[in-house]
Structure 1
Amino acid sequence: MSDRRDFLKKAAIGTLGISTLYGCTENKKEKSEKKEIPQDNDNKGRKPLIIATWNHGLAANEAAWKKLHQGSTGIEAIEAGVRIPEADPAVRSVGYGGYPDREGKVTLDACIMDHRSDCGAVSFLQGIKHPISVAKKVLEDTPHVMLSGEGALQFALSKGFKEENLLTAAAEKDWKEWLEKSKYQPVINIENHDTISMLVLDTDGNLSGGCTTSGAAWKMHGRVGDSPIIGAGLFLDNEVGAAAATGLGEAVIRTAGSAMVVELMRQGKNPEEACKEIVERIYEKHKNHRDMEYLQVGFIAVNAKGVYGGYSLRSGFNYAVYDEQQGNRMEDAAFKMNWD
């Protein structure tokens, strides 16, 4: 079987290719807070740089940073990084230990994209702990961008991945408690973070990105969010920048969120400004929508110069940043409003 690059060359075509965020809230009752964004972003351009959503991004950043300094590529660093939360049962919104759908099945989505715009994704994957690694194999070993469901599982098994039960006792207990009411409504709390999205700018100035998630707890069986969709949960253009989403996947898909953030950076906006404009666009399109009461979305972005930023609809979104100047740390995103 020809590899991806041989296939593309022979066919003379080019292939271009984050999970509902139940939110993260501080339960604040104050009036909406709006942070002014300076024209010149106050973080200096730098490389290498890693940025990843939520506090589980700290451990992911550590693993990715180690890979970069061993000379690995950006997507190898991303794979190593996000495999950490994928394997951690305490992270209830990613991989092993993630909340199941309403039928009690853990279904996973992931995608990965490199600086050449080659990408791979899997959706509705069951029984494989590391969907990010399967997505990387889709990029490397197939002519496709996305494999889904049973086909994604068959492919993973053919590549030597081990099938296993991903439903932990703790997640099963929560699911059974939910079954007593069986009401689908996102739970808004600071523990229930969702997707991990990661962006990497390597020492050569090349960008890579990845997303992985177990998606919305108690979702309908077969539901797929934004995380494996190139242009929604993740997008990059190596000459411009990269962006990734976390939040209510349906809202991100409706607005092609990450692709739009990159396009705004192409037009000259800094990463935080670009994230803010798309969040506000999502708000305008959803302010009278049935999803609005629990809607939270957030974006992270980095441009080709190494300037980064993030912005969210509601308070509570944060992300982990790793660079040589300041090391690995959490930063709070600016936001449009507090939770009511």
Structure 2
Amino acid sequence: MTSRREFISGALAMGVTGIPESLGSTLNRNTRQAQVTPVVVSTWDHGLAANQAAWELLNQGGYSLDAVEAGVRVSEADPGVRTVGLGGYPDASGEVTLDACIMNEKMDCGSVAFLQEIKHPISVARAVMERTPHVMLVGQGAQDFALTQGFAKENLLTPQAYKDWQVWRAQGERPKDINIENHDTIGMLALDKDGRLSGACTTSGAAYKLHGRVGDSPIIGAGLYVDGAVGGAVATGMGELMMKTLGCFLVVELMRQGATPMQACKGAVLRIAEKLGDFAAFQVGFVALDCLGESASYCIQPGFSYARHDKQGAILTKSEALLGEAP
């Protein structure tokens, strides 16, 4: 029987991603960009509601940056989405700490990490991008900045999240599951009628993480990356794996070399599997959207889904998985 490592090595050796050597495909995309129509994609099932908010702006001719901010704010404000914003799982000390970043087609970007008591970190990240010379603010500095910009403090630890944290501690601080139960980060990409591509990513991070831990979601290139001439990518899952491989940057670079969104997402997952020996213990999912509006996703473990909304309507797609395909 073929082992998992042999399967991965064989896939890499055979060039399973099918990426050509030249940049001709990317150049061809640029010449066809006028054909695009608005589209928004995002991670997980709750992406459907987030996409609806984004689509309302896109369908009115709005800017993709406004759309992704509005879209992910829906998840940030929903206490039922357990690892984003209000109601997100706390860290090991019982504190809710938030990470987010945002990026437009011109590579303007902003980010916040380890932000507390501010419900909409994505909007603070946009303020960092537009109102400071910096890309990232963290911790108390990020909160201080948010307050100067008119954001208000509020308690983000809901009674249900507090109860779950108490149960986790009483059970001996066991790790949580690897899919949506612990990693339902909202990552979103949108393309507007003018061909402008933007992305956003926001999370409260892994449930019961060490106090002070920051994952991939606020890291440009790891949890989100956008190049307006090529495409964008967002990631969800165990952030450390994306940070070690700059997964979203890799997805976009593979598309720049001519890969389709599916080939690029698969190539990034294969890179993780090739380089990181413990990858099978975790979930990582990528979603990519190119500058023509083609989208795809790929992940390590079965169980990841992504949402898409365009003029044809809304759809939720179950992602193909590396380990689900192994012989």
Match of 2:286 among 282, 299, 318: 299
For residue 82 of structure 1, report the CA deviation from its aligned partner: 0.5
What are the Cα deviations for residues 27-68 of structure 1, in whole angstroms up to 9, with x where unaligned?
xxxxx9x9x98999xxxx842110000011000000001112
For residue 71 of structure 1, report the CA deviation from its aligned partner: 3.4
Task: Provide the C-alpha distance between the structure 1 equivalents of 2:280 and 2:299, rounded to a whole number of angstroms.
Answer: 15
Match of 1:276 among 255, 266, 270: 266
For residue 246 of structure 1, report the CA deviation from its aligned partner: 0.6
Residue of structure 2 equivalent to 1:265? 255
Residue of structure 1 equivalent to 2:177? 187
Residue 164 of structure 1 aligns with an amino acid whose one-letter code is E
Task: Provide the C-alpha distance between the structure 1 equivalents of 2:170 and 2:315, rounded to a whole number of angstroms.
Answer: 40
Equivalent pair of 2:245/2:272 in contact (CA under 8 Å) = yes
What are the Cα deviations for residues 165-192 of structure 1, in whole angstroms up to 9, with x where unaligned?
0000000000001112443523235544
Residue of structure 2 equivalent to 1:202? 192
Task: Provide the C-alpha distance between the structure 2 equivalents of 1:209 and 1:103, rounded to a whole number of angstroms.
Answer: 31
Residue of structure 1 equivalent to 2:30? none
Structure 2 CA distance for partners of 1:339 and 1:225, relative to 1, 3 Å: farther
Q: Does 1:174 align with 2:174?
A: no
Q: Does 1:66 align with 2:64?
A: no
Q: Secondary structure at the match of 1:314?
A: coil
Equivalent pair of 2:17/2:259 in contact (CA under 8 Å) = no
Residue of structure 2 equivalent to 1:7? none
Q: Does 1:316 align with 2:306?
A: no
Equivalent pair of 2:233/2:287 in contact (CA under 8 Å) = yes
For residue 293 of structure 1, report the CA deviation from its aligned partner: 5.1
Equivalent pair of 1:46/1:323 in contact (CA under 8 Å) = no
What are the Cα deviations for residues 70-110 of structure 1, in whole angstroms up to 9, with x where unaligned?
33311111111111010000110100000000000000000
Q: Secondary structure at the match of 1:337?
A: helix
Residue 251 of structure 2 aligns with an amino acid whose one-letter code is V
Residue of structure 2 equivalent to 1:127? 117
Equivalent pair of 1:51/1:199 in contact (CA under 8 Å) = yes
Equivalent pair of 2:300/2:323 in contact (CA under 8 Å) = yes
Equivalent pair of 2:182/2:207 in contact (CA under 8 Å) = no
Residue 286 of structure 1 aligns with an amino acid whose one-letter code is L
Equivalent pair of 2:73/2:120 in contact (CA under 8 Å) = yes
Q: Secondary structure at the match of 1:338?
A: helix
Which 4+ runs in 1 deviate beyond 3 A?
Answer: 36-40, 188-193
Equivalent pair of 2:36/2:195 in contact (CA under 8 Å) = no
Structure 2 CA distance for partners of 1:189 and 1:241, relative to 1, 3 Å: closer
Structure 2 CA distance for partners of 1:300 and 1:183, relative to 1, 3 Å: same
Equivalent pair of 2:36/2:291 in contact (CA under 8 Å) = no
Q: Does 1:253 align with 2:230?
A: no
Residue 300 of structure 2 aligns with an amino acid whose one-letter code is L
Task: Provide the C-alpha distance between the structure 1 equivalents of 2:198 and 2:298, rounded to a whole number of angstroms.
Answer: 20
Equivalent pair of 1:114/1:208 in contact (CA under 8 Å) = yes
Task: Provide the C-alpha distance between the structure 2 equivalents of 1:190 and 1:196, rounded to a whole number of angstroms.
Answer: 11
Further displaced range: 221-230 or 185-194: 185-194
Q: Does 1:228 align with 2:218?
A: yes
Q: Secondary structure at the match of 1:321?
A: strand
Equivalent pair of 1:110/1:122 in contact (CA under 8 Å) = yes
Equivalent pair of 1:184/1:219 in contact (CA under 8 Å) = no
Task: Provide the C-alpha distance between the structure 2 equivalents of 1:233 and 1:120, rounded to a whole number of angstroms.
Answer: 13
For residue 280 of structure 1, report the CA deviation from its aligned partner: 0.8
For residue 157 of structure 1, report the CA deviation from its aligned partner: 0.5
- Specify which structure has the bigger relative contact order, considering alpha-carbon pairs within 8 angstroms and separated by 6 or more residues: 1
Structure 2 CA distance for partners of 1:189 and 1:314, relative to 1, 3 Å: closer
Residue of structure 1 equivalent to 2:29? none
Equivalent pair of 2:184/2:236 in contact (CA under 8 Å) = yes
